[in-house]
Amino acid sequence: MSNKIDNIIEELKSLTLLEAAELVKQIEETFGVDTSAVASAGMVMMPSDTNNAAVVELEEKTEFDVILEEVPAPKKITILKVVRSLTALGLKEAKELVESTPKIIKQSISKEDAEEIRSKLEEVGAIVSIK
């Protein structure tokens, strides 16, 4: 591999989850691709100026992250209690997590577990996403 590619790979490894999500969004806008279609199709066709299309195969995602996006002020205490029960964090740590949204609640879990956690948090008024 060239030094340029090696440098890009190293930079990608250092991205946080939120930075990686922003990168995907920017790539979609810049190259005119839709990554949401990738999950069902299994591959992406990227447009090219030379009429050659690059095909990128993607593996099906098996690990998901649950992200607490927003906590409405009136529901903060109820959401805090649910976060504590889901994460086994202490009161102080859970409070810091809830107050500093967006934050990852759980990382690298199955889709079923992620959906279950999301439904519990949304029941009490939190805005949650799964990535």
Q: CATH number for the domain including 104?
A: 3.30.1390.10
Number of domains the chain contains: 2
Low-confidence residues in the chain, pLDDT < 70: 1, 35-60
Judgement on whether residues 75 and 50 belong to the same structural domain of the protein: no
Judgement on whether residues 101 and 72 belong to the same structural domain of the protein: yes
Range of the domain at 95: 64-130
Judgement on whether residues 18 and 70 belong to the same structural domain of the protein: no
Judgement on whether residues 74 and 124 belong to the same structural domain of the protein: yes
pLDDT the model gives residue 60: 64
Q: Which residues 6+ apart lie within 8 Å of 125 measured at CB?
A: 71, 72, 74, 75, 78, 79
Closest CA to 111 of 45, 38, 61: 61
Judgement on whether residues 81 and 123 belong to the same structural domain of the protein: yes
Token pair, residue 23, equals: 């990168």
CA 51-53-55 angle, 5° bins? 175
CA 22-56-34 angle, 5° bins? 45
**Mean pLDDT, the chain, integer:** 78
pLDDT by residue (tens digit) across 81-114? 888 888 888 888 888 888 887 888 888 888 888 8
pLDDT the model gives residue 7: 85
Token pair, residue 80, equals: 């805090």
pTM of the model: 0.50
